[in-house]
């Protein structure tokens, strides 16, 4: 559209030269150097010129200056409406029947005694019906809501004869058409001394650009209404013309105005050329502004008036019909010109906005996308914070002290669609020193307490209208290493609500999609509930409190090896190189639900554990593991023998229906259901242990008994320790969403920050290897089964909650989304918003809450003044 508009203007430069003279050299605005303020002046020039042309057109229709003064003097704050009325009648005149002879004839020759030639002709009888079509129309202006309080502008009537071949009337016998109206109150309100005085209020809070402001929006709104009004009038006369079925030079509104100068011309002059302004042959000074002057506009208006009169005269010559008289031609041509004028205004202001876009693209070298913006914000965030408050990628290693990591986990933004590698999101993070112990339930009877590192993260997402960001939680493990990851919500100051859990181990990589669910901002919520009933308002507030608390997304990491050492009474780091032992222990815990008490090291009654070498303790645990494995193996062999005996008995007896053993039933637990076997009587381990004799079993029995006696006090001590509050000032994590909401409401002028709930997606994918030599295989994850396995393992490693977990880390993520209602480029061009500063402000507000300090101390010293210049309210 802009290309066609620019081409149309280029074609009209000859008319401009004719009006302004050859000494002037105005050019297309984008070809002349100018300032940003010149764009406002240019928009006012073209818009005012277009509205002035509309007033000239209305004058041609009878709304002269004197009539306008009379209307305004009587209006007295009442609305002023332009109204078109029309009425048609169609009366039957007569019926005629006539015969029409076919010009062709057929000759027939008859041979006989007398040769004859016979000529045949066809005569058709035609019946015709004649009608008289009459039309009366008028144009008037009325005040308020009473059409009778009106000022007549023009009125005319016409009639014509119609002929049909049927007795059906070609038009209703009498039809009073619906009035076609448009309000002129706004347009006439712009008049000063009978001239349009249009300007843009640049001090308005909603004035963003020369195109995006309330004043221009009102012009475009009026233009659209006027174009509709004009098109309805043209449609009425086209209907009459089609009924008359005669040639007439009444075409579409756009073509009727050919040759009329539309004074909506976005031209500028190069001020460096110092063109002299000439009036009456004398120099009156030097032109110093790029925008054309008011006197130039007056000349354009005069040319518009002249060319309109010329076009009307030309079109009237081709309208020699009974129904379309010269008065109707004047009306039709004028409304066609008005239609072209309002369209030109719209195209001109869009052209000014396109200049902004093109200049911005030329300055940057490309059209910036949301992906480019993300890359810039990553760069920007590394510069604005003081050293102790820098944002960091949400990517962490699972490690104990300074040992090599057991794995890694991160929250990443999906960028593969844009051809980039997925990158961890940047977050404002605070490590909570001396955080309170947290608890969560494994089942209805077991509750686990865990301590360790605690982190609170604030992630500010940003979303443009055309950009939808996707996020993944990625967790990976190293070979012969493992950890448990539990995902959930924060339920209170010391409560964690688990939703999902999984064991990550042995070079596996888990990808979990994260879904961002946006919640209305505080201002949006208050506005929505303002007119609700008290009951409805209380319901909405209660549900919103749950939504805000749900914005706390928690990720718990529990390291397996350190906790395994604790539950087995082994020294710290003693299992680092015991790979086979660690795998066997994990298998016994998960598959057979073996109690840790049967496997742990237990000193003699008179023995000081600190005097016992680590190797001795490890060897004791290995012996316990070996003994249990042998018991399990023996039980399996006995079950196989029993099954073979049953099969042999069935074979010889011929009883194929018997499927159940008549002897003692032995079942090997699969590990599911937290160790509850499906067979009758005791579990396999108890039965096998009763049937087994030997030194190994006696040793296990003695050590287990000793473990029960000597570690009874130790377990109690652990329970006491886990209940004691940690040193330092604790933080109520559940209060952070409310703090953020209060700050966002107070400090975010755009009301664009929305609390965001991080939901866990359903399609989990796991990349793993069944063996060291096999290729990685991608598979889906049975979330329920994996959660059961992880909780079974935690149940064993904590003695069903009796032993706390100390080697853990809790990462709490509170997310918010800064929403832009347009694309990135339109946000900058149309809304005149710098998204960098908007997102920066949002990040700083959240950082102040997370770190519980003022923004000035968070920023790098060289950034304070810059941020104060655009967001002083956050200081």
Alpha helices in 325-458 (DSSP H): 326-364, 370-384
- Give the list of residues 6+ apart from residue 47 with CB closer than 8 angstroms, or none: 198, 216, 219, 264, 345, 348, 349
The token duo for 128 is 């015709």
The token duo for 10 is 């280029």
The token duo for 780 is 């889906």
Q: Please report, for residues 195, 401, 456, 509, 730, the alpha-carbon distance to residue 493 in angstroms, rounded to integers and kept in the order given.
A: 70, 27, 13, 32, 9
Q: Within the chain, what is the greatest distance between any pair of CA atoms?
A: 160
- Count of CA atoms in the C-beta half-sphere (13 A) of 840: 28
Nearest to 769 by CA among 512, 485, 476: 476
What is the separation of C-alpha 599 from the centre of its chain, rounded to a whole number of angstroms?
A: 55
Q: How many helices (H) and strands (E) does the chain have?
A: 22, 28
Beta strands 552-559; 808-819: pairing state: antiparallel
DSSP 681: S
Long-range pairs for 36-41: beta carbons < 8 A, 24 or more residues apart: 38/268, 38/289, 38/290, 38/291, 39/209, 39/210, 39/352, 39/355, 39/356, 40/200, 40/202, 40/210, 41/289, 41/290, 41/291
In this predicted structure, what is the pLDDT of residue 679?
37
CA distance 790 to 486: 9
In this predicted structure, what is the pLDDT of residue 2?
62
In this predicted structure, what is the pLDDT of residue 365?
94
Nearest to 370 by CA among 828, 816, 749: 828
- 3-class DSSP state of 275: coil
CA distance 85 to 56: 22
- 3-class DSSP state of 496: strand
In this predicted structure, what is the pLDDT of residue 415?
72
In this predicted structure, what is the pLDDT of residue 254?
55
CA distance 147 to 134: 24
pLDDT in tens, 848-866: 999 999 999 999 999 999 9
- Give the list of residues 6+ apart from residue 834 with CB closer than 8 angstroms, or none: 828, 870
Q: Are 37 and 288 in contact (CB under 8 A)?
A: no
Percent helix, strand and coil across the chain, each to the nearest 5: 45, 25, 30
In this predicted structure, what is the pLDDT of residue 604?
76
DSSP 428: E
Q: Are 783 and 763 in contact (CB under 8 A)?
A: no
> What does pLDDT average to in each consecutive run of 10 residues of the chain (875 residues)?
65 79 84 92 95 95 93 91 94 87 69 65 84 93 91 92 87 89 95 90 94 96 96 90 65 66 89 48 50 91 93 79 85 92 94 94 92 90 91 93 92 75 89 87 92 94 84 94 95 92 94 95 94 95 94 95 94 92 92 91 77 89 94 92 86 57 41 40 39 38 39 36 41 89 92 94 92 88 94 94 93 95 93 95 95 92 94 92
In this predicted structure, what is the pLDDT of residue 246?
56
Report phi then psi at 770, rounded to 5: -70, -30
Beta strands 27-28; 267-268: pairing state: antiparallel
In this predicted structure, what is the pLDDT of residue 27?
86
The token duo for 506 is 């042995």
The token duo for 845 is 């507000």
């Amino acid at each position: 559209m802009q290309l066609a508009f620019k081409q149309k203007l280029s074609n009209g430069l000859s008319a401009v030269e004719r009006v302004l003279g050859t000494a002037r050299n105005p050019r297309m605005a984008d070809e002349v150097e100018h300032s940003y303020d010149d764009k406002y002046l240019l928009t006012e020039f073209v818009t005012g010129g277009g509205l002035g042309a509309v007033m000239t057109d209305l004058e041609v229709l009878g709304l002269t200056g004197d009539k306008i003064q009379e209307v305004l003097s009587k209006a007295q704050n009442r609305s002023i409406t332009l109204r078109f009325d029309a009425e048609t009648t169609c009366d039957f005149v007569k019926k005629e029947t006539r015969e029409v002879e076919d010009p062709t004839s057929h000759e027939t020759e008859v041979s006989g005694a007398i040769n004859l030639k016979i000529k045949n002709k066809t005569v058709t009888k035609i019946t015709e019906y004649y009608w008289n079509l009459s039309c009366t129309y008028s144009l008037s202006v009325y005040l308020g809501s009473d059409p009778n309080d009106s000022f007549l502008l023009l009125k005319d009537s016409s009639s014509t004869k119609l002929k049909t071949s049927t007795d059906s009337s070609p038009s209703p016998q009498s039809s009073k058409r619906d009035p076609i109206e448009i309000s002129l109150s706004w347009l006439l309100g712009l008049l000063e001394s009978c001239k349009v005085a249009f300007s843009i209020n640049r001090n308005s809070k909603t004035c963003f650009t020369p195109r995006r402001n309330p004043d221009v929006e009102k012009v475009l709104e009026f233009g659209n209404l006027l174009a509709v009004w004009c098109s309805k009038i043209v449609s009425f006369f086209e209907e009459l013309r089609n009924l008359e079925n005669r040639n007439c030079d009444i075409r579409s509104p756009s073509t009727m105005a050919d040759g009329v100068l539309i004074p909506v011309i976005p031209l500028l002059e190069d001020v460096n050329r110092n063109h002299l302004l000439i009036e009456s042959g004398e120099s009156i000074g030097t032109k110093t502004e790029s925008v054309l002057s008011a006197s130039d506009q007056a000349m354009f208006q005069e040319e518009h008036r002249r060319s309109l009169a010329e076009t009307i005269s030309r079109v009237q010559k081709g309208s020699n019909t009974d129904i379309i008289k010269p008065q109707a031609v004047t009306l039709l041509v004028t409304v066609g010109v008005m239609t072209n004028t309002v369209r030109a205004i719209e195209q001109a202001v869009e052209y000014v906005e396109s200049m902004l876009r093109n200049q911005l693209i030329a300055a940057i070298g490309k059209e910036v996308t949301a992906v480019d913006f993300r890359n810039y914000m990553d760069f920007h965030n590394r510069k604005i914070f003081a050293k102790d408050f820098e944002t960091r990628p949400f990517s962490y290693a699972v490690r104990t002290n300074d040992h090599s990591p057991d794995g890694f986990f991160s929250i990443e933004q999906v960028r593969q669609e844009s051809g980039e590698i997925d990158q961890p999101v940047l977050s404002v993070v605070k490590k909570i020193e001396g955080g309170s112990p947290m608890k969560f339930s494994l089942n209805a009877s077991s509750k686990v307490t865990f301590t360790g590192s605690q982190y609170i993260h604030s992630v500010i997402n940003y979303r443009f209208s055309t950009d939808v960001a996707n996020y993944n939680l990625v967790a990976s493990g190293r070979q012969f290493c493992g950890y448990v990851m539990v995902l959930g919500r924060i339920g209170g100051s010391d409560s964690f609500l688990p939703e999902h859990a999984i064991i990550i181990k042995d070079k596996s990589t888990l990808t979990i999609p994260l879904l961002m669910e946006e919640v209305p901002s505080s201002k949006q919520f208050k506005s929505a509930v303002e007119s609700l009933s008290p009951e409805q308002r209380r319901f909405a507030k209660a549900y919103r409190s749950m939504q805000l608390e749900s914005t706390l997304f928690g990720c718990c990491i529990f390291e397996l090896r350190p906790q395994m050492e604790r539950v087995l009474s082994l020294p710290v780091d003693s299992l680092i190189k015991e790979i086979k032992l660690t795998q066997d222990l994990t298998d016994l815990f998960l598959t057979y639900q073996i109690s840790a008490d049967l496997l742990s090291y237990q000193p003699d009654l008179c023995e000081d554990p600190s005097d016992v070498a680590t190797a001795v303790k490890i060897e004791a645990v290995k012996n316990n593991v070996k003994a249990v494995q042998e018991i399990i193996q023996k039980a399996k062999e006995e079950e196989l023998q029993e099954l073979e005996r049953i099969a042999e008995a069935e074979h010889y007896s011929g009883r194929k229906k018997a499927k159940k053993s008549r002897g003692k039933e032995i079942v090997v637990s699969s590990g599911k259901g937290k160790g509850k076997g499906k067979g009758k009587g005791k579990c396999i381990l108890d039965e096998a242990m009763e049937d087994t004799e030997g030194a190994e079993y006696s040793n296990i029995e003695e050590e287990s008994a000793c473990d029960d006696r000597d570690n009874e006090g130790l377990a109690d001590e652990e329970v006491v320790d886990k209940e004691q509050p940690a040193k330092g000032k604790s933080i109520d994590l559940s209060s952070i969403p409310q703090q953020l909401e209060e700050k966002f409401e107070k400090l975010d002028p755009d009301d664009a920050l929305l609390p965001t709930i991080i939901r866990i997606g359903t399609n989990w994918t796991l990349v793993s290897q069944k063996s060291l030599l096999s290729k990685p295989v991608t598979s889906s994850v049975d979330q329920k089964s994996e959660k059961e396995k992880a909780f079974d393992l935690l149940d064993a490693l904590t003695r069903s909650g009796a032993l706390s977990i100390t080697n853990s880390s809790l990462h709490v993520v509170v997310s918010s989304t800064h929403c832009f209602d347009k694309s990135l480029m339109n946000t900058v061009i149309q809304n005149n918003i710098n998204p960098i500063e908007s997102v920066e402000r949002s990040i700083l507000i959240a950082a102040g809450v997370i770190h519980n300090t003022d923004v000035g101390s968070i920023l790098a010293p060289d950034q304070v003044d810059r941020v104060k210049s655009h967001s002083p309210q956050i200081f």
